Amino acid sequence: MNKSRIGIVGAGIGGLAAALALLRRGFDVQVYEQASELGEIGAGVQITPNGSKVLMELGLTDEIMAIGTRTQGKDNYLWNTGQKSTFMQLGDRANEQYGSPYLTFHRADLHAMLLKAVLALKPDAVLLDKRCDGIAQTAAGVQIRFSDGSSAEEPVLVGADGIHSRVRQALFGPDSPEFTGCIAWRGLIPAAPIEGAVNLRGGSMWLGPTAHIVTYPVRQGALLNFIAMVDRDDWLSESWTEAGTVEECLGDLAGWHPTVQLMVRNIAIPYKWALRVREPLDAWSVGRITLLGDACHSTLPFLSQGANMAIEDSLVLARCLCQDDEPELALRRYEAARRPRTARITRTSAEQLRRVHNPELADPASAQRYIEREWASQRVDDRYGWVYGYDAGTVAITQGLELPPAVAPASRPA
Ligand SMILES: Cc1cc2nc3c(=O)[nH]c(=O)nc-3n(C[C@H](O)[C@H](O)[C@H](O)COP(=O)(O)OP(=O)(O)OC[C@H]3O[C@@H](n4cnc5c(N)ncnc54)[C@H](O)[C@@H]3O)c2cc1C
């Protein structure tokens, strides 16, 4: 493509990864972010080999190896007895199997790393206090209107504005996510009070009949990231920043193993959010506008792929825009390359809920049989191999792809 400017709404992990991928390919980029200060929530994020491969291709190999924590592997634990079994081996094995590492990060560190790389290429790439309120296609491109009354015009626009995306709403109207009947608790735990009781070099998954817990170390084991997903139908807010209390979280995990109670008691502020599921969209692009990351494929967290998919999107989008002179065609190619994979991941992730919350886990004898069956190494490879083995740098973007039809002008935003 004639390397013109690309506007991006949203400076989260997806928006910044896209900015970096595009700047590295010679595009000019302008990112519009609603926040007055850039940062991230206090939580961990797992970057699986499919995501780290992209970050390596974006020139960040040394940075991710320095900032990320190389997880040795994951074990399963039974919710009440604490009985342990192997879930998956990682460490060197991830590199051997996929050619890139499995790493965990503090989200703020990952975000800061991406921001630094973007600003090194274009110091004024990110404009703050720019909350997108509306968009309109124009003859030359796209007009973006902001809540401060200002506006900007860009030849091409990418909506990377997250789960409640304003750009998505402008293109396709409001959505109606379905509540799963499950909420998530998250928190960071300092290492000192749990050292010895909890593995601070690898991940764990605690499995129970109506809840499960995922933990993994970040910052080389100085902190443990904790997420508990609990069947509960009285909390409907889909926000990542609403605080609950330790007592309430303990109440949701009553009867769980003492190690679990110890972890929860050491979370300074546990946050809770309702898990809602969205059907994959039928289209992501209208004319010169497209979507990226949670804006177009928010997912339940059961495969840890939300950020990874956003990072994959960024590289495929940049490759498509490089290849085609016609931006509308490039965006359709991007969508054609990415929609089937992201739909499969979001659906598989939703299906995973009944595997990790299963009545067979209530009784220790049936639970052990269930874990041995469902987490047999071949089954684990079948479930995760296709997710981790994807290479956004080489996946086909032209041949063998049926392009989605262009969305009719009549349905374009006014
Ligand atoms: C606790 C937790 C743990 C997770 N763990 C994992 C994990 O282990 N692995 C994984 O792959 N994924 C994980 N995810 C999911 C992952 O974090 C998201 O999928 C990812 O952040 C999506 O990135 P994004 O850039 O699309 O959206 P976001 O990170 O939500 O960024 C959107 C950006 O757009 C900005 N914005 C929003 N609206 C506007 C507007 N109108 N105008 C301008 N700017 C706007 C926001 O301020 C924000 O900066 C986790 C999520 C949570 C909450």
pLDDT for 176 equals 87
DSSP per residue, 295-326: HHH---GGGS-HHHHHHHHHHHHHHHHHH-SS
Residue 120 has pLDDT above 50, yes or no: yes
pLDDT for 408 equals 54
CB contact at 8 A, 110 and 66: no
Distance 51 CA to ligand 1 centre (A): 15
Which of these, 14, 7, 25, 290, lies nearest to 126 by C-alpha position? 7
Q: How confident is the model at residue 317 (pLDDT cuts 50, 70, 90)?
A: very high
Q: Name the residue of 16, 30, 34 whose CB sits within 8 Å of the most ligand 1 atoms, as the mutation to test its pocket.
A: 34
pLDDT for 414 equals 37
Which of these, 98, 161, 65, 62, lies nearest to 393 by C-alpha position? 98
Residue 1 has pLDDT above 60, yes or no: no
Distance 79 CA to ligand 1 centre (A): 30
Distance 11 CA to ligand 1 centre (A): 9
Which range has the worst mean pLDDT, 34-48, 209-223, 247-261? Answer: 34-48
Q: Is 12 in the pocket of ligand 1 (CB under 6 A)?
A: yes
Q: What is the CATH number of domain 179-277?
A: 3.30.9.30
Contact partners, residue 169, CB within 8 Å, separation at least 6: 175
Residue for token pair 């006014």: 414
Q: Is 35 in the pocket of ligand 1 (CB under 6 A)?
A: yes
Closest ligand 1 atom to Cα of 35: 47
Q: Is 34 in the pocket of ligand 1 (CB under 6 A)?
A: yes
Q: How far apart are the first and last CA of the chain?
A: 27
Q: How confident is the model at residue 93 (pLDDT cuts 50, 70, 90)?
A: confident
Contact partners, residue 217, CB within 8 Å, separation at least 6: 69, 71, 104, 191, 199, 200, 201, 202, 203, 223, 224, 225
Q: Among 98, 216, 334, 370, which one carries the catalytic annotation?
A: 216
Q: Name the residue of 9, 45, 118 whose CB sits within 8 Å of the most ligand 1 atoms, as the mutation to test its pocket.
A: 45
pLDDT for 409 equals 43
Residue 321 has pLDDT above 70, yes or no: yes
Distance 307 CA to ligand 1 centre (A): 7
* pLDDT, tens digit (0-9, with 9 covering 90-100), for 53-63: 999 999 999 99
Q: How confident is the model at residue 411 (pLDDT cuts 50, 70, 90)?
A: very low
Closest ligand 1 atom to Cα of 11: 49
Mean pLDDT of 70-76: 91
pLDDT for 399 equals 54
Taking each helix axis from N to C end, the angle separating 13-24 and 306-323, rounded to the nearest 10 degrees, works out to 30
- Number of Cβ within 10 Å of residue 396's Cβ equals 10
- Dihedral (Cα; 234, 239, 243, 245), 10-degree rounding: 30
pLDDT for 402 equals 66
**Residue 80 backbone dihedrals phi, psi, to 5 degrees:** -105, -35
5-176+278-406 shares its CATH topology with 179-277 = no
pLDDT for 209 equals 94
The mean predicted confidence, pLDDT, of the chain is 92
* pLDDT, tens digit (0-9, with 9 covering 90-100), for 325-369: 789 999 999 999 999 999 999 999 999 888 889 999 999 889 999
Among positive and negative, which fits the CA dihedral 70, 72, 76, 82? Answer: negative
What's the DSSP call for residue 61? Answer: H
pLDDT for 22 equals 98
If you average pLDDT over each of 127-131, 234-238, 359-363, which comes out highest? 127-131
CB contact at 8 A, 275 and 178: no
* pLDDT, tens digit (0-9, with 9 covering 90-100), for 158-198: 999 999 999 999 999 998 899 999 999 999 999 999 999 99
Active site residue 32: no
CA-closest residue to ligand 1 atom 14: 306
Mean pLDDT of 80-107: 90
- Dihedral (Cα; 113, 114, 115, 116), 10-degree rounding: 50
* pLDDT, tens digit (0-9, with 9 covering 90-100), for 378-409: 999 899 999 999 999 999 987 555 677 777 54
Domain ranges for the chain, please list them: 5-176+278-406, 179-277
**Fold for the domain defined by 5-176+278-406:** FAD/NAD(P)-binding domain (3.50.50)
pLDDT for 413 equals 47
Q: Is 161 in the pocket of ligand 1 (CB under 6 A)?
A: yes
Distance CA 308, CA 279 (A): 19
Mean pLDDT of 132-158: 95
Residue 2 has pLDDT above 70, yes or no: no
Separation in Å, CA 170 to CA 125, 224, 239, 310: 24, 39, 21, 20
Distance CA 126, CA 122 (A): 9
Tokens of 167: 């750009």
